Chain A
């Protein structure tokens, strides 16, 4: 069974950084991309970016290019996201997600999500 276990809630002061983790069990992250998505209070889902853990290649949404840094440790099967220069606007739930595409004559797509990490930015 594939599971994504995210780290616990964070309280960060403005101007500081936090690093979130997402540990995957049941699947080797070398074989997929790891995505990060946020959701501000009462708002919709925003795609932040994704990393290819096999080579470290990343793609970010434009607005997160100077905010988020995605990394991955294949030895521990864990993805990370660091958020820098925290502002109150960064207060949100942050999800990691793994989307798998599989083809055996029929196309299948599976999406696995972590439970989310609440980041609260406050002095």
Chain B
């Protein structure tokens, strides 16, 4: 199975900060990567699909980039409602896999 490594596990930032979350795959996943946001007690929500496509209704402060094995989710100006855990998810080949998540907190 393809392993997805997210970093950092926990990120503390202030409102208005630019925040970058990383996700590294154990092999080339050809941009077949989504980013999900999960708030406590809720089902995950799709934010970004196929590396850099913003899902309908998601604020434009969220963006994604990457290729090969390295991918990034960026929040351009952190808002209080962005406090959540973020997961990358690959669907390139074999069993699909999630990263372990990055928990985003307010400083």
Contact = CB atoms under 8 A, between A and B. Distances in A.
The answer to whether A and B interact is yes
Interface of A: 35, 37, 44-47, 49-50, 59-62, 95, 99, 107, 109-111, 113-116
Contacts of B63: none
Interface string B11-47: 0000000000000000000000010101000011110
B97 A61 contact: yes
Interface residues of B, number: 24
B35 to A, nearest CB: 11
B46 A111 contact: yes
B53 interface: yes
Contact of B98 (A44, A59, A62, A116): A44
A46 B95 contact: no
B98 A47 contact: yes
Contacts of B94: 59
Contact of A47 (B43, B50, B96): B96
- Which of B45, B87, B96, B97 has most chain A Cβ within 10 Å? B96
B95 A49 contact: yes
Contacts of B49: 109, 111
Contacts of A107: 50, 53
B1 interface: yes
11 contacts: A44-B100, A45-B98, A49-B95, A59-B94, A60-B95, A61-B1, A61-B95, A95-B43, A109-B49, A109-B55, A111-B46
B33 to A, nearest CB: 11
A109 B87 contact: no
A112 B80 CA distance: 25
A46 B101 CA distance: 11
Contacts of A109: 34, 46, 49-50, 53, 55
Interface in B77-107: 85, 87, 89, 91, 94-101
Nearest to B90: A47
Contacts of B91: 99
Contacts of B98: 37, 44-47
B53 to A, nearest CB: 7
